[in-house]
Amino acid sequence: MTSLQHNLHETPFNRQTRLYIFERLWRGSSIQKAPIPILDAYFEYYESQCLHALHERGRHLTVRTHEHIMQVARELERDQPKEAIKDNLTKLFESRDPTNKDEVLNNSVELVVRLYLMVNIGTSKSSVTSGQKLSWTSGTIKESLDAHFNEPPVLTNHNVRFEKSFTAVNLQRIAGIKIRWTNNLADHLRMVDDDDKIVAIFHHATFLKHQTSALLPAGLVDETLRTLALLFPQNDRATKKWINSLPATPVVDRQLNQCGQLRLDDRQIETYKFWHDRLIILKQAFDESRPATLSQWWCDRRNGYQWYTFWVAVFVLFLTIFFGMVQSIEGALQVWKAFHPSPG
């Protein structure tokens, strides 16, 4: 039995199974030359998706092995309509068609889409998904993805430029904007709360670097990598230190700050099409934030004059309090001596 013929529930996957899956899903990649730990984040997602889809002994799913996943992925890549893929999957039923046949077929196809493209497709209880959900009821998956990601921008981009201070580390320590890691590409850079204090970031840089599918809109993968290079600068010490300090769970792709160097053009909002509006919203939340703690005031050097003025004021206040305390103590000692004169 080859690694791809193993059942989906046989987790965790060994090294050979991981390599087979990755090489079959993204043919022509050189992942075998890279250290296996860089696959941890993707396969954490892959395994959790499979295990949840197989709940109730797999009665909501017809695909059973990694080979089945590869077969459906190839049909997706050939731009087959959803109904045609479902028809081909009926041969996997071990006995007569179940009463929930259509649900089972939909779940199976949508699971493969999530594994292959990391886009949240499907609303079945058998899937573990969060955030924005894409609808795919008919036609090909490419048509649905094009319709979603190619929506024209609506926000104006006057005077929007991404300074070098616009990084994920500074989003947190200056603006107080927390990062929520997402496995759903459709959620990338989306503000997920009403106060604009949490942003979702698709962290799977390894997946993006080796993605060869023609199903995702042309330019989407490259632009997403550029947003990661923008937020996680490759040679930035603070970013590298911060990534190294991330906890073991959830598993985050440690290649986040290995997405290449940005050119000057890459810092202009006009060069972004797919993430244009979300970048503007995130930049606006960053620019409009004001320090609320001393640590934020110390880190916030976007306005050098304001930073200098604030800390001079803090220093003067400290000296005032210090000398005030010294005078108070000196006065108290004088009073004490007045009531307790030295003998003789």
**What is the distance between the alpha carbons of residues 230 and 165, in angstroms, rounded to a whole number?**
10
Check residue 113 and give its pLDDT: 95
Structural contact between residues 49 and 114, judged by C-beta atoms closer than 8 angstroms: yes
β-sheet bridge partners, residue 283: none
* Mean pLDDT along residues 88-95: 79
CB atoms within 10 A of CB 67: 17
Structural contact between residues 159 and 266, judged by C-beta atoms closer than 8 angstroms: no
Q: State percent of the chain over pLDDT 70.
A: 77
Compute the C-alpha angle 140/205/237, nearest 5°: 160
Query: In sequence order, which residues have a C-beta less than 8 Å from that of residue 154 and are 6 or more positions away?
Result: 277
* Mean pLDDT along residues 186-214: 91
For residue 173, name the pLDDT band (cuts at 50, 70, 90). Answer: confident
Check residue 182 and give its pLDDT: 95
The answer, yes or no, to whether residue 227 has pLDDT greater than 50, is yes
The answer, yes or no, to whether residue 168 has pLDDT greater than 50, is yes
pTM above 0.95, yes or no: no
Q: What confidence tens digit (pLDDT) does each residue in 14-73 have? A: 888 888 888 888 765 555 555 556 688 999 999 999 888 887 776 788 888 899 999 999
- Mean pLDDT score of the chain: 82
Check residue 51 and give its pLDDT: 87
Q: What confidence tens digit (pLDDT) does each residue in 96-132 have? A: 666 788 888 999 999 999 999 999 987 665 555 567 8
Question: What end-to-end distance do the CA atoms of the chain give, in Å?
Answer: 104
Label residues 128-139 b or e (16+ Cβ within 10 Å = b). ebeebbbebeee
Of 15-24, 236-245, 310-319, minimum mean pLDDT range:
310-319
Alpha helices in the chain (DSSP H): 15-25, 40-53, 66-77, 82-89, 101-117, 141-149, 168-173, 205-209, 220-231, 237-244, 276-288, 294-299, 304-339
Check residue 257 and give its pLDDT: 92
Check residue 292 and give its pLDDT: 57
**What is the distance between the alpha carbons of residues 93 and 190, in angstroms, rounded to a whole number?**
39
Cα–Cα nearest to 295, from 199, 175, 146, 117: 175
Q: What confidence tens digit (pLDDT) does each residue in 249-292 have? A: 889 999 999 999 998 888 999 999 999 999 999 999 888 876 65
* Mean pLDDT along residues 319-336: 68
Of 141-155, 185-199, 225-239, 327-341, minimum mean pLDDT range:
327-341
Query: Phi and psi for 343 in degrees, rounded to 5?
Result: -65, 145
Check residue 307 and give its pLDDT: 47
CB atoms within 10 A of CB 91: 7
Q: State percent of the chain over pLDDT 90.
A: 43
